[in-house]
Amino acid sequence: MAIQLSPVEATYEFEKTNGRHQATILSGGGGGSTGTPSISSVTDNGDGTITIQGSGFGLKDQAAPVLYDFVTHAYENGQENTFQSTFFTDNQTLHDGENEPDRIWDGVASPNASVPRDPVRYRTTSSNTRHINVDAYYEIRKGSFVGLPIAYGGDHDNQPGDVRFDRPDGEKQLYVAWWLWVNTDPHNLYVMYVENVTGTFQEGDAFRRGEEVIITEAAAQARDVKGWIHSYNSTAGAIIFEIDTTADESLYGDPNIYAADGSSFTAQSSGTTGNLIDNDINDDGESFWRPISPHKYARFWESGGGSSGLRGTLSVGTGLYLSDRNTGLENNFYSSTPIELNPLSWTLVEVMMDKGDVDTSTPGKVEVRTNGDLIFSADDIDPAIMEQDSSSPTMQLIGQNTPRPPDGFDNFPGLDFRISEVVQDKTWQRVVLADASTLSAATHYEIQRPTAWSDGEIVAEKIEGTLSGASQLYAFVFNRDGSYNETGVAV
């Protein structure tokens, strides 16, 4: 479990009115750009905290992030909330009932008639947690998700009186990070159309793949395609197929639209055989298509129902997508750079947005990182896409957001997601510890939890995560512009 500290927030206080908290700035203000941060020293205080001294950190009107969720407990605007560890037991499902005013999330997936998704589950299986100092994680299956943190006003339109914190207006930046474990990369899943099926597949279920299947000469250079079946729907005439990306590339490859049509396949355990066909689903001659699930890893909206202002999506196929709801989605932006995930391991996903300003023609900015590596960035986005509403964007959801299973199928494929240590803030400012003096050389970094922040000094809870065995840790400070000290300073 993370060290529990009393919040030391020198720059703000909370006033509670009608059951809600509203932050009141006492000193400083939103941290403006002050150039690149420079660290002069990092001191381990010996009490679970570190002190970083230097310059160019910028002012931060609230030292603590809006949310730092360790699952068993969370810090909401610096205030500890232990509700989940005292309310939930292992494998219990989360929900957003109004009789749980101390809940962390205002948006939690639940099954309904149109989407047979699984509920989110609170899990404490120690062998599956990200590291020994966290005691739980969220289990995400069959299209489920969490979102709309109460710490930033929630925003379920039908429960406005059941939120402990107000959402501020006018915040232009959003920072969201979460650790994500997947049993398979959704990029590797396909719907394939088949005929002349003889035999009975050994299918998987909602949580695991089925038997191995080899498709003959369906890849470029007449190579075979190797993978696993997840499910078969005889009415739809299609299978859900997962590619084995670890297969020998001299023998196997990815399906090729020019080679796959008519290729035969053989299931390796049951002996089931058949052929791929072109059903021309997209009028483009393809006998397969992808990705199928989840369509979206995350959504970022300005309103609970996404009815106004910015709508952002981190999707499987296209990466980051932004649109303006106020103009009927006519203004939009695609990154065309999807993230890649390593199956059976944890990946830190970070998404950052800055809406810019229409009145001053200040362009919008975005960044997407995985394990600290910059995957995509843009600093010249038309502010008309991002800055059409005065409210502040928030995390609508993270997890598996899919409208429904693939056409003709009754279930989602066997995707198992785990989510741990979720962070949201209204600024890109943050402190991280890495296991190398440059981020490019680090395996990843761990996000710290600041408790005091000024332009020249930061105090933060020291969070080592999976870097606890590193011989040396190095500190990096990001300012509001996303700039950071390129050479880390040893702790």
| pLDDT classification of 425: cutoffs 50, 70, 90 | very high
| pLDDT classification of 416: cutoffs 50, 70, 90 | confident
For the residues 94-113, what does the mean pLDDT come to? 77
| pLDDT classification of 299: cutoffs 50, 70, 90 | very high
pLDDT at residue 205, as a whole number: 73
Looking at mean pLDDT, say which of 105-119, 213-227, 424-438 comes out highest: 424-438
d(CA 361, CA 91): 50
In this model, does residue 314 exceed pLDDT 50?
Answer: yes
| pLDDT classification of 26: cutoffs 50, 70, 90 | very low
For the residues 273-300, what does the mean pLDDT come to? 69
pLDDT in tens, 339-373: 988 888 999 999 999 999 888 989 999 999 999 99
Cα dihedral across residues 54, 56, 61, 64: positive or negative: negative
Give ∠ CA 477-478-483 in degrees, rounded to 5. Answer: 125
pLDDT at residue 34, as a whole number: 58
| pLDDT classification of 190: cutoffs 50, 70, 90 | confident
CB 484 within 8 A of CB 64: no
Looking at mean pLDDT, say which of 101-110, 225-234, 263-272 comes out highest: 263-272
In this model, does residue 265 exceed pLDDT 90?
Answer: yes
CB 467 within 8 A of CB 480: no
| pLDDT classification of 19: cutoffs 50, 70, 90 | very low
Instruction: Tell me the CA end-to-end span of the chain in Å, nearest whole number.
Output: 22
3-state secondary structure the chain: CCCCCCCCCCCEEEEEECCEEEEEECCCCCCCCCCCCEEEEEEECCCCEEEEEEECCCCCCCCCCCEEECCCCEEECCEEECHHHHHCCCCEECCCCCCCCCCCEEEECCCCCCCCCCCCEEECCHHHCCCCCCCCEEEEECCCEEEEEHHHCCCCCCCHHHCCECCCECCCEEEEEEEEEECCCHHHEEEEEEEEEECCCCCCECCECCCEEEECCCEHHHCEEEEEEEEEECCCCEEEEEECCCCCCCCECCECCCCCCCCEEEECCCCCEEEECCCCCCCCCCCEECCCCCCEEEEEECCCCCCCCEEEEEECCCEEEEEEHHHCCCCEEECCCCCCCCCCCEEEEEEEEECCECCCCECEEEEEEECCEEEEEEEEECHHHHCCCCECCEEEEEEEECCCCCCCCCCCCCCEEEEEEEEEECCCCEEEEECCCCHHHCCCEEECEEEEECCCEEEEECCCHHHCCCCCCEEEEECCCCCECCCCEEC
| pLDDT classification of 316: cutoffs 50, 70, 90 | confident
For the residues 394-416, what does the mean pLDDT come to? 75
pLDDT at residue 279, as a whole number: 53
Q: Is 398 exposed, middle or buried (0-12, 13-18, 19+ CB in 10 A)?
A: buried
pLDDT at residue 477, as a whole number: 98
In this model, does residue 130 exceed pLDDT 50?
Answer: yes
d(CA 431, CA 449): 8
In this model, does residue 212 exceed pLDDT 50?
Answer: yes
Q: 28-32, 83-87, 386-390 — which is least confidently predicted?
A: 28-32
The answer, yes or no, to whether the previous bond of 343 is cis (omega within 30 of 0) is no
In this model, does residue 173 exceed pLDDT 90?
Answer: yes
Of 320, 316, 332, residue with least CA distance to 402: 316
Residue 447 or 110, more confident: 447
In this model, does residue 284 exceed pLDDT 70?
Answer: no
| pLDDT classification of 16: cutoffs 50, 70, 90 | very low
pLDDT at residue 388, as a whole number: 65
Residue 278 or 436, more confident: 436
pLDDT at residue 344, as a whole number: 85
pLDDT at residue 113, as a whole number: 57
pLDDT in tens, 455-490: 999 999 999 999 998 999 999 999 999 999 999 999
pLDDT at residue 8, as a whole number: 34
Q: 94-108, 115-129, 131-145 — which is least confidently predicted?
A: 94-108
pLDDT at residue 50, as a whole number: 97
For the residues 279-306, what does the mean pLDDT come to? 65
For the chain, the average pLDDT equals 83
pLDDT at residue 412, as a whole number: 64
Residue 30 or 389, more confident: 389
pLDDT at residue 191, as a whole number: 82
In this model, does residue 262 exceed pLDDT 90?
Answer: no
In this model, does residue 172 exceed pLDDT 70?
Answer: yes
d(CA 213, CA 229): 6
Structural domains for the chain: 1-63+432-491 (2.60.40), 64-176+294-425 (2.60.120), 186-289 (no CATH)
pLDDT at residue 1, as a whole number: 33
